[in-house]
Amino acid sequence: MSARVLDSLASRIERLQALDRVSPPLAAVAGVVRCKQRWTDLLSGTPLGHPIHPLLVTVPIGGWVGAFVLDLLGDRRGARILVGLGVLAAMPAAAAGLSDWRDTAGVEQRVGSAHALLNASVLVLYAASWWARRKDQHLRGFCLSLPALGLLSVSGWLGGHLAYARGVGVDTTAFLTPSRDWAELATVDDVPAGGLTVRAVEGVAVLLAQTPNATYVAYADRCTHRGGPLHDGDVVEGCVVCPWHGSRFDLRDGTVVAGPATRPQPKYDVKVEGNRILVRPTEVQMHQAASDGARESG
């Protein structure tokens, strides 16, 4: 019953057009946050290989929950310190969240806007709680923290909905694995020098390119960040640039050169037989596909 209620709440938020009014000011703030490429990479988690926002939010959540426990135990000073720590730690977490939110659209953006508004309310309440505690108004500080903790729970659930129900921050290529056997993808004549070609293998779009040293490389065509079609992008300085959000992937090995993407592009084995270019998944991908198949059959 509770799951139905929560799903109904999420559906209402996704349809709430009034949240679209929040997008312009949030986008303006997100633009400031991501004014430089190095900030985009850092806030996206590109150096870590995974989104950094879920990691950062554990600090303020842990601090505020810990403060609630210390309040119940009567440790006023400890509770005040943890409330303040949570307020400070919420700043970089919010910046990372805004950076991620900027690359969403539609219903995902609306849920993200609601998530951001709730978090802003939580931050204001906890800041007021810390100020009251600092002035020895401990009861008032505790009372301010109670609704903040409740809103934090709702906001946390919405964050989980974005990640696990809507796939925000998830590698969009995680379950894309074509045949385990060599399959003809294209001919040598199909691949222009310095250009990009896309072909499908068993319904999976594969990007084919020729490197400067005249070898062929193949990757998943969907950008790992938000699923952008890489074949519509450009090749710049040996990198393919996603047309949606500007992530750059090294054509030699698919590694992320510039975010907001955090995960490398899945690379396929390539061989040339005569005029034919054939591809197959790498050994790691085949093991992953086998594991997925075992789970499905079990």
Asked if 108 contacts 168 with a C-beta cutoff of 8 angstroms, the reply is yes
Write b or e for each residue in 120-132: b if 16 or more Cβ atoms lie within 10 A of its Cβ, otherwise e. Answer: eebbebbbbbbbb
Asked if 206 contacts 221 with a C-beta cutoff of 8 angstroms, the reply is yes
Strands, sheet with 234-236, edge to edge from the N-terminal-most edge strand: 234-236, 239-241, 248-250, 256-258
The residue count for the chain? 298
Question: Counting beta carbons within 10 angstroms of the beta carbon of residue 256, is it exposed (0 to 12), middle (13 to 18) or buried (19 or more)?
Answer: buried
- Tell me the three-class secondary structure of 41-68, residue by residue: HHHHCHHHCCCCHHHHCHHHHHHHHHHH
Global pTM?
A: 0.85
Question: Counting beta carbons within 10 angstroms of the beta carbon of residue 230, is it exposed (0 to 12), middle (13 to 18) or buried (19 or more)?
Answer: buried
How would you write the pLDDT of the chain (298 residues) with one tens digit per residue?
477 888 888 899 999 999 999 889 998 988 888 888 999 999 999 999 999 999 999 999 999 999 999 999 999 999 999 999 999 999 999 999 999 999 998 999 999 999 999 999 999 999 999 999 999 999 999 999 999 999 999 999 999 999 999 889 888 888 777 667 888 888 888 888 778 889 888 788 899 988 777 688 999 999 999 999 999 999 998 899 999 999 999 998 899 999 899 999 999 999 888 888 888 887 655 555 545 554 455 5
Residue written as token pair 């790691």: 284
Residue type, 44: S
Q: What is the pLDDT of residues 131-151, one digit of tens each?
A: 999 999 999 999 999 999 999
Q: Which of 104, 210, 228, 107 is nearest to 173 (CA)?
A: 228
Q: What is 83-130 written as a DSSP string? A: HHHHHHHHHHHHHHHHHHHTT--HHHHHHHHHHHHHHHHHHHHHHHHH
Nearby residues of 291 by Cβ (< 8 Å), 6 or more positions away: none
What is the DSSP secondary structure assignment for residue 165, as one 8-state letter? I
